[in-house]
Chain A
Amino acid sequence: MYDYRDTYASTSLYVDHNNEKGFIYGVFVATFVEEIDAYCDKCLNIRSLNPNKYFYRAIRTFPYAMLATSWYDLSSEHAELRQQYGENEEIDTSDTVKIGQAYIGIPVHRFEVTSDNILINPIVEWVYPFLVVNNTTTLFSYRENLGLDSMCGDIKMLNNIPESFINIIKNDSVHNSNTLENPSSNDQYFELSLPMWKEFLPQTPLKSESLVEMAFWGGERIEIDPSKIDSYSDDEIRAIFKWSPDIPNMIEQAKNNLPEIYKLLCGKPASFPMVGLKQFRDPGNTSRATFQAIVVADSVLSPVDRYWIYPAGSVGVSFSVGAMIDDLLSTFMRGMQLSKKTPTVLHPSFGFSMEIASKINNVKAIQIFHD
């Protein structure tokens, strides 16, 4: 094993890591196990000379994706880890950044494969087929250290919801809430823009295009005290998520099959182990990978203080389609029937926001592919 040679451009973010002073706004969206299986087969169940130690599959009992944006005022390596590994004395690669990110996260099952090709010991890990960050130090760390196929974009955050977005939601026939007419000081709006080709044509320039808008109207949100969540009965928890017929079902599924998601929905610290495909092209033959490995990391999300639930009519999400992410979004939100001409409105069953901190550690390559 050779020493990694640090340079001015190296980043050691996310080799062991703390995110502090953060918050998350998110929604859960129903998706399709066939599509998740296809994604797993393409990006994780890779055929190679060495037998696969693991096999990934959608979680049949929880076919939901989380669309969320999270922000941290402070994102930095563990100081004690830097001492443990001994930073290069010549070059200090410690990084402390402020980050905003938007993503689609999907829980999947990782099975161990026995020598008899039997799948055993399923554990839950999260894949991030769509992940955008707003600074390049984090971008390079996500890609090169965690193996997350991330992109760099701009995420705008406003405390008031633009009229143009309200009109998009109003014009959608399914939406019949009057929440939109009542602005509140707790309203929150996000707009994600990404450099992309709107259409795949040789003369199309890559430019920043608005892709996702997401708004949370604060007028009817309900604050939940995580310290008292244990005292709630199951019926009371169901009552909190009363606005949609889907919600009790989803909560029940989470409680029975994915206790960590259930914990998060109850405002408690929850583990979200992540998995990515770390790969780099061979410079001599760019259709091949000179390195390809499945990388996993532990990630613990800790709600630190405030937690709110937003009823169905208080959350709005719209997508504008661009060629670069068309297939990704239509894969995981097949029911949306994305339109190329007008923004497509999504109707989440509920939304949530909470103040959080998170920790990422135990990053390791669990399978390296050979050919």
Chain B
Amino acid sequence: MPEFVQTSATQELPTPFHFPGVKAWVFMFEISMGPVKRYCDTYLNLGDPRRRPFVYRPMPLYPYATMMVLEYPIMVSADRNPAVDPTFAARGFMSQKEVLIDFPVLRHGTRLDNFLSDVSLEFAVPFIVVDNATSAISGREIIGFQKIVGQIDIETIVGKSALGGALHETGFTTSVNLPGYDSAGSENELEHLVRFMDIKTGPPVPGVGASPNSGSIMTLFDTGLAAKTFEGAAGLYDLVNKLACGTLPNLQQMVALKQFRDPSSPKSAIYQAITTASPRYYNVRDIKYYNENDVYICLRDKGSLSDITKALFDRDSIHSKNVQWLDQGDGSNKIVIKPALACSFTSEIDYDEQSILYTYVSPDDPRGGRPTGNMISPWLKPWMGFWARR
């Protein structure tokens, strides 16, 4: 591959990235398998299935999507390539807010010899928005994440209880506005910011909100002791992973379709490949849980934003009482989501592992169909490297 041409104004920042002190709010909610299957077939299982040595499928045993709201106070490209002066690591830092939704997908081989060796649990990201254009450019052009730039407001509400006492968190709110159109496909409407999402929570538990359902996993976290136990477990995972020389499978291997239009035939792709990125969360701390009965998540199914909701939800086959469509009478809907779990934590995040898994089409191989050595299952990869011929 040729060398990437860069200047001091290059917007596509190179990895590795280091993000210390990231504050994350996580909401898990039930999702039906129809949209997940449709996503796999539209964006991951491309081309002739007889030539493609793998297939992506939904994970019916884990029918949950995760919505994450992230606040990055410091983002650093730690690239120290001496050919670039000054190195990106020496340039400075930036900040951003991000909201994403991911769900798990299972990849496995389609032949006898690779059925198990290429098994991997990965997370597809059907929606991701940031408020930093440089981050959006880097995510889109390096990994292929479909990042857009929007307006994200995050507020942690602080107050005192009715009886007074010290200030404490009484709730958390987020709103997201995206560039879009009130009516899909209108040629006379100018793009403008449209409200897409609102999230509100009550105080973290133990708190003053309603009690969780008896069937909720929230009951597990109804005491501070339980939260501390999980915080300890997260630290323990870091320690064990270090002792195991990084051979534990990364639970957050994200998968994306990196693609760019052929300028002379825009319906076709001039480059198309499956890529992965594995953010590494460590030093997880300050874990707090919210009572899911106190959490309100609302998405707007309106105009051009329907493209997002269509990819995530199947209105006709809704079987979950936890996702409600509320007709607004003007052709739009509000989608109110009741999460199964809501929590927040602070963590360091590093992006230092990303790769191309499979190239569908590229200038080097216009007919496509080029797997890389990265297809191999994460649990097997360290051993394959150890025994490989050198």
Contacts and interface: CB of A to CB of B under 8 A. Distances in A.
Interface of A: 1-5, 7-10, 12, 15-16, 42-43, 46, 48, 74, 76, 79, 85-86, 90-92, 94-98, 130, 135-137, 139-140, 143-147, 149, 151-152, 195, 197, 199-206, 277-293, 295, 297, 323-328, 362-365, 368-371
A287 B16 CA distance: 11
Contact of A293 (B1, B146, B304, B363): B363
Nearest to B143: A283
Contacts of B1: 282, 285, 288-290, 292, 371
Contact of B179 (A16, A136, A152, A201): A136
Contacts of B277: 283
B234 interface: no
A371 B257 contact: no
5 nearest interchain CB pairs?
A9-B146, A286-B14, A204-B92, A8-B307, A152-B133
A136 B186 CA distance: 19
B4 A281 contact: yes
B254 to A, nearest CB: 11
A190 B129 CA distance: 30
Contacts of B368: 2
B317 interface: no
A143 B142 CA distance: 13
B14 A287 contact: yes
A144 B189 CA distance: 24
Contacts of A292: 1-2, 4-5
A97 B190 contact: yes
Interface in B161-184: 179, 184
Contact of A281 (B14, B43, B191): B14
Q: Which of A135, A205, A287, A290 has the most CB of B within 10 A?
A: A290
Nearest to A289: B4
A126 B89 CA distance: 33
A115 B307 CA distance: 50
A198 to B, nearest CB: 9
B246 interface: no
B93 to A, nearest CB: 6
Interface residues on B, range: 35 or more
Contact of A370 (B2, B84, B186, B257): B2
A92 B46 contact: no
B331 interface: no
B35 to A, nearest CB: 12
Interface in B108-160: 127, 132-134, 136-137, 140-143, 146-149
Contacts of A137: 179, 191
B191 A97 contact: yes
Contacts of A48: 2
16 contacts: A9-B140, A85-B265, A136-B149, A147-B263, A199-B92, A202-B89, A203-B92, A278-B263, A280-B271, A281-B12, A283-B355, A288-B3, A289-B1, A290-B271, A328-B8, A370-B364
A5 B190 contact: no
B268 A4 contact: yes
Contacts of B360: 2
Nearest to B257: A5
Q: Is the interface of B mostly helix, strand, loop or mixed?
A: mixed
Contacts of A324: 8-9
B7 interface: yes
Q: Which of A2, A96, A284, A326 has the most CB of B within 10 A?
A: A2
Contact of B4 (A86, A94, A279, A295): A279
B319 interface: no
Contact of B361 (A2, A86, A143, A288): A2
Contacts of A5: 42-43, 46, 257, 259, 269, 272
B198 interface: no
B270 A291 contact: yes
Interface in B260-274: 260-273
Contacts of B95: 205-206
Contacts of A204: 91-93
A206 B93 contact: yes
Nearest to B147: A9
Q: Which of B83, B259, B266 has the most CB of A within 10 A?
A: B266
B133 A139 contact: yes
Interface of B: 1-5, 7-12, 14-15, 42-43, 46-47, 76, 79, 81, 83-84, 86, 89-95, 127, 132-134, 136-137, 140-143, 146-149, 179, 184-191, 257-273, 275, 277, 304-305, 307-308, 310-311, 354-356, 360-364, 366, 368, 374
A364 to B, nearest CB: 4
A200 B93 CA distance: 10
Given A12-B261, A197-B92, A325 B356 contact: no
A284 B3 contact: no
Nearest to A327: B8
Nearest to B84: A287
A106 to B, nearest CB: 15
Contacts of B3: 287-289, 371
A7 B128 CA distance: 12
A293 B76 CA distance: 29
A282 B356 contact: yes
Nearest to B44: A5
Contacts of B86: 200
A2 B355 contact: no
Contacts of B141: 143-144, 280-281
A199 B143 CA distance: 28
Given A1-B269, A284-B356, A286-B142, A7 B190 contact: no
Contacts of B311: 7-8
A281 B17 CA distance: 15
Contacts of A364: 263-264
Nearest to A4: B269
A278 B363 CA distance: 13
Given A92-B307, A94-B187, A284-B355, A365 B263 contact: yes
B184 A92 contact: yes
Nearest to B3: A288
A3 B79 contact: no
Q: Which of B83, B93, B257, B260 has the most CB of A within 10 A?
A: B260
Nearest to B307: A8
A79 B186 CA distance: 11
Nearest to A90: B310
Nearest to B136: A136
Given A92-B184, A280-B141, A289 B2 contact: yes
Given A92-B185, A205-B95, A4 B137 contact: no
Nearest to A6: B307
A146 B149 contact: no
A352 B7 CA distance: 30
A2 B268 CA distance: 6
